[in-house]
Amino acid sequence: MVKKEFAVLITVVLLQSSLCIAAESAHRNKDVSDKVIAEQHKTLAENTKDKGFGPQSPRDIDAKGGNNSRIFAAAPHHTKMNLCNIHFHKNAEHKGGEFTKYAGNGDGHGYNSGYKYSGKLSKSELKAFHIPGKNGGLSSGDTIEVHYVHSTIKGKPAPTLASCLSESIKNPQLRVETQVYVLVNDEKALDFVSLTKVEMKKGLFQAVNMPTDTGAPIAYAGSTTGPAYNEQGSPFQVTFSVRPKVAKVNIKTVAKWLESNEFKEDHGHGVRNLVINKDLLSEIQN
């Protein structure tokens, strides 16, 4: 019975991942109207009302309020957990800190929405360089939100969030260390291959080069993200830790990583609409 339930859980995760990819591929020529986004927020509220869903992600990390009363223990510090997956979203899913410039409504399926770096870049940093791919690819000046996903299960880093679940532990604690980067055409900027380097530390897999100078992380109780949840609640409980400052990364090293990485990532994923319904948000304590 345990094996059967676990198989169903994995199937659900993989199906949601497939739906995200399919939605991300459905490009539109122009953004949808504000009405479409408002309807998605309304549908999300209707589909989660009185269902007992826990707090959701993404959110505005500068807005501390939240009414969701579902509580769960904060996941341990990431150095006490196994890194299980690394992926990134095109544009920041979260809002706040140095990523507050709205990218637009997008196509309603997570493409070309979210938030961008709100600072200024030089002409040389913005020198044209394009990475072709899904969601229109990536270009100099684009913003990405990287999710370093950690789990309390025993396992190796691998593709998809299924790598963060286990048949041995059906309810692992999950933590996402979040860093927003802006892509610049600058050889002196950070190397994305290095930023995603994984090593074993004290018996645990770790991303050993995550930035440590991008501000004190804003930690809160949330959920998994992605555009598959624009109108549905996520049932997964996740401790999010979001750094408020943006780091500059050499876009050419992002291209190199997308060509070959252990997570089989080849594009920036779409984003979930910012969750604004306070009944779906936890109260930020720090």
List the alpha helices (DSSP H) in the chain: 2-25, 34-48, 192-195, 251-259
What is the per-residue pLDDT for 25? 44
3-class secondary structure, 178: strand
CA-CA distance, 44 to 8, in Å (whole number)? Answer: 24
Q: What global pTM score does this model have?
A: 0.90
- Asked, for residue 286, whether it belongs to a domain, the answer is no
Here the tokens at position 86 are 């690394």
Count of structural domains within the chain: 1
C-alpha neighbours within 13 Å on the C-beta side of residue 78: 24
- Asked if pLDDT for residue 3 goes beyond 60, the answer is no
| Distance between start and end Cα atoms, the chain | 41
Q: For residue range 15-39, what is the model confidence (pLDDT) as tens digits? A: 444 444 444 444 444 789 999 999 9
Please name which of 286, 215, 275 lies closest in space to residue 244, comparing C-alpha atoms.
Answer: 215
Q: Which residues pair with 219 in a beta bridge?
A: 241
> Which distant-in-sequence residues (6+ apart) come within 8 Å of 128 by Cβ?
139, 140, 185
Q: If we measure between CA atoms, which residue out of 216, 248, 6 comes closest to residue 120?
A: 248
Token pair 């339930």 in the structure block, residue? 5
Domain assignment of residue 171, yes or no? yes
Q: Is 208 exposed, middle or buried (0-12, 13-18, 19+ CB in 10 A)?
A: middle
| pLDDT of residue 234 exceeding 90 | yes
Let me know if residue 285 belongs to a domain. Answer: no
Q: Please indicate, yes or no, if residue 240 is contained in any of the structural domains.
A: yes
pLDDT at 231 over 50: yes
Whole-number Cα distances in Å, 193 to 137, 140, 256, 258, 259: 18, 17, 7, 9, 11
CA distance 82 to 87: 15
Each residue's pLDDT tens digit, 22-81: 444 444 447 899 999 999 999 999 999 999 999 999 999 999 999 999 999 999 999 999
In a domain, 182, yes or no: yes
Mean pLDDT over residues 120-148, rounded?
A: 96
195/57 Cα distance (integer angstroms): 24
**Residue 180: predicted pLDDT:** 98
Looking at residue 24, what is its pLDDT? 43
Range of the domain at 207: 2-280
Spatial distance between the Cα atoms of 173 and 170, rounded to a whole number of angstroms: 10
Share of the chain above pLDDT 70, in %: 90
Average pLDDT over residues 257-270: 97
Model confidence at 134, pLDDT cuts 50, 70, 90, reads: confident
* Residue 30 confidence (pLDDT): 73
Residue 12 maps to a domain: yes
- What is the rounded average pLDDT of the residues 136-156? 97
Establish if 112 belongs to a structural domain: yes
- Mean of pLDDT values over 119-138: 96
Q: What is the pLDDT of residue 1?
A: 41
Asked if 131 contacts 179 with a C-beta cutoff of 8 angstroms, the reply is no
Report the pLDDT value the prediction gives residue 113, as an integer from 0 to 100: 96
186 within a domain of the structure (yes/no): yes
CA-CA distance, 209 to 34, in Å (whole number)?
39
Q: Three-state DSSP class for 265?
A: coil
